Amino acid sequence: MKNVYKYIIAIIVFIVMIFMVYESRKELNEVSKTYFYMDTYISVKVYVKDNNKGSEALNKIDEIFEEYHNLTNKYEDHEKGLYRLNKNGSGDIDKKLYDIIEYGYNFYDKSNHLLNIGIGNVTDIWKKYRESESGVPSLDELNKVNININDIKLDNGSIRLKNGVNIDLGSLAKGYATDIVGEYLESEGINSYVINAGGNVLVGKKYHSDKYKIGIEDPTGAVAIYKIIKAEDIAVVTSGGYRRSYTYNGVNYNHIIDPNTLYPADNMLSVTVITKESKLADLLSTTLFLMSYEDGKEFIKDYDAEAIWYLKDGTVKMTDGMSKYE
């Protein structure tokens, strides 16, 4: 009789173990959607118990990205948006647009005067050449236009642009909107998510036992991914010259323009920044792309952020703190 009890206990233990394994395997459902805004392909994945709640959130996110697309778009006319501000030099702008411009404007001094949102006139010229692939603008042509950021006058919700200065939010609009979407998801109680807006990645809490694995694309294309970062509740942004560029007479011209030379920056192939906020990661990665690796290594020490540089000779450099994401 005693033996029978023993075996019954053994069987119960066995069943409990199977149940525990089953529980540990049970994951939240993934619901995903893609969007096309801000000239880029955006994908959002959320991990939820209730699929309907996930789908509703993804539809709301469509509206958020569309709103930020309209407000920050330099080339399409929208109510209270950037196109109208640039064209008229003043006028009624949306509070949300004001906040983005203010955030970018305030970073100018912090970035050693490299991140200049007043560079719009120069990026317009480069865009024209890039799209027609018809040559390279001369320094004369570039020097004629005004990029003085001090001609942007911010005053309590209203903005005045003096002397024809023109705002370009390409260095932060995607990162900024990504943070807004992340905040929206958190407010809905959806804490596990992956937002990828054209090089701007923001992830929430992990949804199973592993952290998120975020691959970084190889700028040379030799392999698809050259590095994987393991993290949660983090933003990862890459700036690179290998996307949105054109080649003329054998020289590659990318879209990230150095405000000092007025020509595309050519310090490295790509740089990736990892920090809490996507909007800060966006500004920092553009700033590091405009600096030499040596300057950037010192610059980034002032921030609670890590960076990975892919240099032109193929070497990869990292900040010491990167080890926590291995």
Partner 1 sequence: MNKNDIIVCILIFILGIFLYLFSFNKNSGELAIVYYDHNKVLEIDLKDKNKRTYTVNGYNGEILIETVDGKVRVVDEISPKHLCSKQGFISGSSESIICLPNKVIIEIVSDDVDTVVR
Mutual angle of helices 95-110 and 278-289, in 10-degree steps: 40
Give the nearer residue to partner 1 in terms of CB position, either 13 or 139.
13
Q: Does the protein bind partner 1 through residue 13 (CB under 8 A)?
A: yes
SS3 170: coil
Choose, by CB under 8 A, the member of 214, 234, 257, 271 that binds partner 1.
214
Residues contacting 289, CB < 8 A, separation 6+:
239, 240, 241, 256, 265, 267, 268, 270, 271
CB of 157 to partner 1, least distance (A): 34
Of 180-188, 237-245, 254-262, 294-302, which segment contacts partner 1 by CB under 8 A? 237-245
Q: Does the protein bind partner 1 through residue 146 (CB under 8 A)?
A: no
Give the nearer residue to partner 1 in terms of CB position, either 122 or 274.
274
Q: Which residues of 79-98 are buried (b: 16+ CB within 10 A; e: fewer)?
A: ebbbbbbbeebeeebbebbb
Choose, by CB under 8 A, the member of 75, 225, 251, 252 that binds partner 1.
225
Q: Does the protein bind partner 1 through residue 237 (CB under 8 A)?
A: yes
> Distance between CA 218 and CA 227 in Å, rounded?
8
Give the nearer residue to partner 1 in terms of CB position, either 40 or 146.
40
Q: Does the protein bind partner 1 through residue 156 (CB under 8 A)?
A: no
Give the nearer residue to partner 1 in terms of CB position, either 125 or 311.
311
Q: Does the protein bind partner 1 through residue 62 (CB under 8 A)?
A: yes
Give the nearer residue to partner 1 in terms of CB position, either 149 or 190.
190
Q: Does the protein bind partner 1 through residue 248 (CB under 8 A)?
A: no
Structure tokens at 113: 């005067």
CB of 107 to partner 1, least distance (A): 21
* DSSP designation for 87: H
> Distance between CA 124 and CA 126 in Å, rounded?
5
> Distance between CA 91 and CA 88 in Å, rounded?
7
Give the nearer residue to partner 1 in terms of CB position, either 167 or 203.
203
* Interface map 167-196 toward partner 1 (x if CB under 8 A): ---------------------------x-x
Choose, by CB under 8 A, the member of 34, 134, 150, 252 that binds partner 1.
34
> Distance between CA 115 and CA 75 in Å, rounded?
21
* Interface map 257-286 toward partner 1 (x if CB under 8 A): ---------------x--------------
Contact 31, 58 (CB under 8 A): yes
Structure tokens at 238: 């890459």
Q: Does the protein bind partner 1 through residue 10 (CB under 8 A)?
A: yes
Q: Does the protein bind partner 1 through residue 8 (CB under 8 A)?
A: no
Largest CA distance in the chain: 100
Q: How far is CA 14 from CA 10, 21, 56, in A?
A: 6, 11, 41
DSSP H helical ranges for 111-224: 120-132, 139-143, 173-187
Provide the binding-site residues for partner 1, judged by CB under 8 A: 6, 10, 13-14, 17-18, 21, 24-25, 32-36, 41, 43, 45, 62, 194, 196, 198-199, 201, 203, 209, 212-217, 224-225, 228, 236-238, 240, 243, 272
